Amino acid sequence: MAAAWKHALDGQLAGLSGAERRSLFAYAYRNTAASRTALTFGLPLLFVIGWTRDYAVSPALAMDSLPRRLLLFWLLVAMALVMRSRLGAVWRETALVAYACVFSAGIAMTTLAEPERMSLTHVAAVLTTIIILPFALHRATAAAVVVVFSLPLFAMLRVLDADTSPFAAYAGFLLVGVGIGLGHRRVWLDTALDVFCLRKRLLARIHVDSLTGLLNREGWETRAARAFDQAMAARRPVALAYLDLDHFKRTNDTFGHAVGDQLLRAIAATLQSHCSAGELVARVGGEEFVVLLPGADEDAAFAFAERIRHAVAALPGPFSSSVSCGVARHRPGETLEQLVARADAAMLEAKRRGRNMVLRAESRVPTFSEDDGSGA
C-alpha cells in the first residue's frame, strides 16, 4: 500500500515541470503559513513555561538556567521569523532544519543540567518531531530534521553514560515520532498535490478553447500579457497577426456546423504547425485567431501571415477556404491592447478590400486580393 502510494505521488510529480514543482511547493507553503507560524512561535514558550515551573519549585536553580533558556528562546524565535519571511525556499527550509537543531539541543542541554528529568524529554522529543516534520516540504529537509533531532539527544545520553535502556527508549520514541511525522507529511503533500493538479486542470479548462485546443480569450489575455511584458523587459521586437476566416457563415450554412467545426480545427492545426517556441496562438472569437510573435519584426510577421494564408487555401475539404489577416509591429510606448487593435483594424480593412489578403497595419497595402462574393 505504501509503495503504491509513493508511486502515485512520484508519478504525479514526474508529470510536473520544474516551474510547476516550485509552484506546488509554494502553494503548500502558503497553505501551512498560519499553522506553521502558530507552532514555531508557540514551541519556544515551552522553555518559558518550564522555567516558570522551575522557579516556583527552586528559584535558585531557575535563575541559574535563565540565560540558557533565554538564548534558546530567542534563537527559536529568530528561526521562526526567518521561516515566516519572504526569503527564498532554500532559506526557509534551512531555517526549519536549524529550528529543529536548536530545539533538540535545548532539550539535550536541559536534560544534562537536570538528569533526573530525562524521562520527560522523551515526550518533548516525540511531540516536536511530529509537529515539525510535516512542514519539511523537501525530502532532504525531512531527513535533515530527523538527523538533527537524533544526534544531540543521543550525544546527551552518551555524556551521561546512560545504559542500554535509555538508549533503547529514546530510539523507540524517536522512531514513533518520525513515523507519525513522516506519515502526516505524506498525507499533507499528497493532498496538496491533488488540489494543485485539480487547480491546474481547471485553469486549463478555463484558458483553453475546447474545440480547437488553442488558448481562448481568457487564456490569451493571461499568457500574451506575460509574454509581451517579458519581450518588453528584454527589449525585443514584438509583432502580432490577427486572422479571420473568410465567408465562414456561408460554409456553415452550406455544409453544416460539423464541417465548420472541422474547418476551425484545421485552421488551428495549421497555425500551431507554423508557430515556433515562444509564439502564442489563440482563438479569440468564432472564426478569429490571433498570433503573438515575440522577436519578430513587421517583415517577419508579414511572411508568417502569408505562409498561413497559402496553407489555409490549400486545406482539403468540400469547401474553399481563405483568411484575411492584419499584421502590426509594436511601436514604442504602445500597449498590447493597442497593438491588437491596430492588427484587428488592418484585418477589417483587408476584409473591406476584398478578403484573402495580408495587410500591414502601417501601410495598408495588400499583397493579394481575391473577392469571391458576399459574406464575412
- Do 200 and 274 have their domain in common? no
Tens digits of residue pLDDT in 280-301: 999 998 899 999 999 999 899 9
In a domain, 376, yes or no: no
Evaluate the CA torsion angle 227, 228, 230, 235 in order and state its sign.
positive
Residue 187 pLDDT:
75
Residue 69 pLDDT:
75
Question: What's the domain count of the chain?
Answer: 2
- Do 34 and 80 have their domain in common? yes
In a domain, 99, yes or no: yes
| C-alpha grid cell, residue 58 | 527552586
Q: Say how far apart CA 64 and CA 375 lie, in whole Å.
A: 94
Domain range for 58 is 2-206
- Do 165 and 265 have their domain in common? no
Residue 309 pLDDT:
94
Residue 369 pLDDT:
44
Catalytic member of 279, 287, 337, 349: 287
In a domain, 374, yes or no: no
Residue 10 pLDDT:
47
In a domain, 368, yes or no: no
Q: Among this protein's residues, is 287 annotated catalytic?
A: yes
- Do 262 and 229 have their domain in common? yes
Alpha carbon 51 to its chain centroid, in Å, reads: 44
Please state, rounded to an integer, the average pLDDT across all residues of the chain.
78
- Taking Cα atoms as reference points, which of 306, 322, 313 lies closest to residue 274? 306
Domain final position from 184, 206, 228: 206
Low-confidence ranges of the chain (pLDDT < 50): 1-11, 363-374
Q: Are 103 and 76 in contact (CB under 8 A)?
A: yes
- Do 279 and 224 have their domain in common? yes
258: domain CATH number?
A: 3.30.70.270
Tens digits of residue pLDDT in 265-284: 999 999 999 998 889 999 99
Q: Can you list the pairs that 11-15 forms with residues at least 24 positions away whose Cβ atoms lie under 8 Å?
A: 12/193, 12/197, 13/193
196: helix, strand or coil = helix
| C-alpha grid cell, residue 230 | 517579458
